[in-house]
Chains A and B, each alone.
Chain A
Amino acid sequence: MQQLSLLLTSLPDGILLGFVYGVAAMGLTLIWGVMDVINLSHGPIISLGMFGTFFIFIKMGINPYLGLIPVAILGLLLGVAIYFIAVHRVIDAPHLSSLLATFSVNMIIIGIATAALTTSPYNVDFNMGSFDLGFTTILGTRLIAAVIAILVTGGLYFFLYRTRPGKYIRAVTNNRAAAELMGVPSTQILALSFGLGTMLAAISGALIATFFPFSILSGAGYELKSFVIGVLGGLGNPVGALFGGLILGVLEGAIPAFMETSWVPVIEFGLFVIILLVRPNGLFGAKE
Chain B
Amino acid sequence: MAILEAKDISSGYGEVQILWGASLSLEEGKLTSLVGANGVGKTTLLRTIVGLNKPWEGSIWFEGEDVSKLSAHAKASMGLVLVPEGRQLFTDMTVYENLEMGATAQRSRARMAESFEKVFTMFPRLKERRGQKSGTLSGGEQQMLAVARGVMADPKVLIIDELSLGLAPVLVLDLFGSLKKLKDEGITILLVEQNVQMALAVSDYGYVLAEGRNEMQGPAKELINNKEIRSAYLGI
Contacts and interface: CB of A to CB of B under 8 A. Distances in A.
Interface stretch (B7-15, B102-110, B114-122): B102-110
B73 A174 contact: no
A203 B97 CA distance: 30
A101 B105 CA distance: 33
Interface residues of A, number: 18
Contacts of B101: 167-168, 171, 179, 182, 184
Interface residues of B, number: 25
Contacts of A168: 101, 104
Contacts of A178: 84, 88-90
Contacts of B88: 175, 177-178, 181
B136 interface: no
B90 A185 contact: no
A180 B91 contact: no
Nearest to B105: A183
A182 B97 CA distance: 12
B52 A177 contact: yes
Given A181-B72, A182-B102, A174 B91 contact: yes
A170 to B, nearest CB: 6
B182 interface: no
B141 interface: no
A274 B149 CA distance: 42
Contact of A174 (B82, B93, B100, B153): B93
A183 B108 CA distance: 10
B81 interface: yes
Interface in A178-229: 178-186
B157 interface: no
B90 A183 contact: no
Contacts of B73: 180-186
Q: Which of A170, A173, A174 has the largest count of B CB atoms less than 10 A from its CB?
A: A174
7 contacts: A167-B100, A170-B93, A174-B90, A177-B52, A177-B88, A178-B90, A182-B102
* 7 tightest Cβ-Cβ pairs between the two chains A and B: A183-B76, A178-B88, A183-B104, A183-B105, A174-B90, A180-B72, A183-B77
